[in-house]
Structure formats: structure tokens, C-alpha cells
Amino acid sequence: MAALKLAIGNKNYSSWSMRPWLALRANDIPFTETVIPLYTDDPADKEKILAFSRAGKVPVLLDGDITVWDSLSIIEYIAERYPEKKLWPDDAAARARARSVCAEMHSGFAALRNECGMNLHRPVRAVALSEDAKANVVRVQEIWRDCRARYAAQGPFLFGRFGAADAMYAPVVHRFRTYAIEVGPEARAYMETMMALPAFQEWTRDGIAETLVIEKFENV
């Protein structure tokens, strides 16, 4: 079986790319990666993304002649192709909840995303957040606290073992860390669990080692 290919953006900045990358790496699923620099002045870089998917966005997964684009669809595809990795919980109620929190992340939290862009090499420093972003921070913590209260007996991640929901929320751990956002003890414990995950550490190391700077994401 040919190895999966994942096209991603700069690891320093591309939170959407981090999600499926982690879902694969944390579950020891073999794949090759292609890093395409984002938002450069070189139109060839955009062409490279378009060659993977006409949507013109990363991440994109290639599995033979199957193309899957969009981080959540890729995670769904991986879950289906590797059911033994249990990216979704076995229990139907837990699975419904996991899907809901993933969809909530995918379609929401715009203020937090805009005001606290993932930027691994940014020195840790607090910024003044809007009321909407503050509400996002409260809601993320509520989700994490609720999941941990329900599923702690099954493991240290949101639904026990590392799964789709953790992959979707991992970039938020970086956002909270980099922008020195104050969190409660349950959120802190979950962040520490995530930051100790070897796959999370590998992505972070790779991102920090990148030298390409995207001006519009700096000085925030």
C-alpha cells in the first residue's frame, strides 16, 4: 500500500496543517510530508498548493488517487482508513460529543484565531483580548474541563486516548501558551499532557527551526 502524502504549510504558523499531521504522527501512521511555504510573494508556491487541491489551501492528504482536503475531512478519512487507531471514541454518546467539539472548533472561535494566531517562535507575551476572544478562551476551557471530567478514567486526553478532538484542539495549546493566556488548573493539566506528547514536541521543534517569516503574522 503506497504511503499517504500530506501537504502542509509552514509548521510555525499553520494551525490547520498541524491537526491532521498530529492525528497521523501521534498514531504512528506512516506518511510523507511536503511543506509548502504560505503567503510568499512567489506565485509558484500558490501553484504548488493548487497542484495538490483546487481549493488552494493546505492541508491536503493524498492516498493514491484519492485527494482529501480540509483538516477535519482529513481526520475523518484517517479515522475511517485506520479504525484500529480509534480516533473517535467507541461509545456512541462520547463519539457524538467528540464530533460536536471538533465541529465547534472547526467552525468557531474566530476571535481567538484572529487575535492569537499560532506562531511558535513568537516570544511569550500577553496581548489585550477582545470580549469575543475572552469568551472563546472561557468556552475552550469549558470544553476541556467537561471532557476531562467525563473521560479521565480512560486516559489523559479529551476522550481518553489521543484522538480527533485532541488533534483539533492542539493548536489552541500553542495559542494559550504563546499569548500567556491565564487558564484554570484543568486546562493547565491538559496543556501539559499535550505538550509532553512526542508528536506535539516534534511539530513544535520543526516549526521553531523554520526561518521563513510571514510579516502579517508577526508583531501581534
Ligand X SMILES: N[C@@H](CCC(=O)N[C@@H](CS)C(=O)NCC(=O)O)C(=O)O
Residue 192 or 218 with smaller CB distance to ligand X: 218
C-alpha 158/C-alpha 26 separation (Å) is 14
CA-based R_g, the chain, Å: 17
- Cβ neighbors of 105 (< 8 A, separation 6 or more) are 168, 169, 172
Minimum distance, C-beta of residue 41 to ligand X, in the bound complex (Å): 12
Residue 76 or 187 with smaller CB distance to ligand X: 76
Residue 56 or 184 with smaller CB distance to ligand X: 56
Minimum distance, C-beta of residue 190 to ligand X, in the bound complex (Å): 22
Which H/E stretch holds residue 165? helix 164-178
The C-alpha cell 499553520 sits at 14
Minimum distance, C-beta of residue 184 to ligand X, in the bound complex (Å): 28
Minimum distance, C-beta of residue 163 to ligand X, in the bound complex (Å): 17
Q: Are 7 and 58 in contact (CB under 8 A)?
A: yes
Residue 17 or 136 with smaller CB distance to ligand X: 17
Q: Are 79 and 85 in contact (CB under 8 A)?
A: yes
Residue 14 or 136 with smaller CB distance to ligand X: 14
C-alpha 53/C-alpha 13 separation (Å) is 20
Binding site for ligand X (CB under 6 A): 9, 14, 16-17, 38, 46, 56-59, 70-71
Minimum distance, C-beta of residue 155 to ligand X, in the bound complex (Å): 26
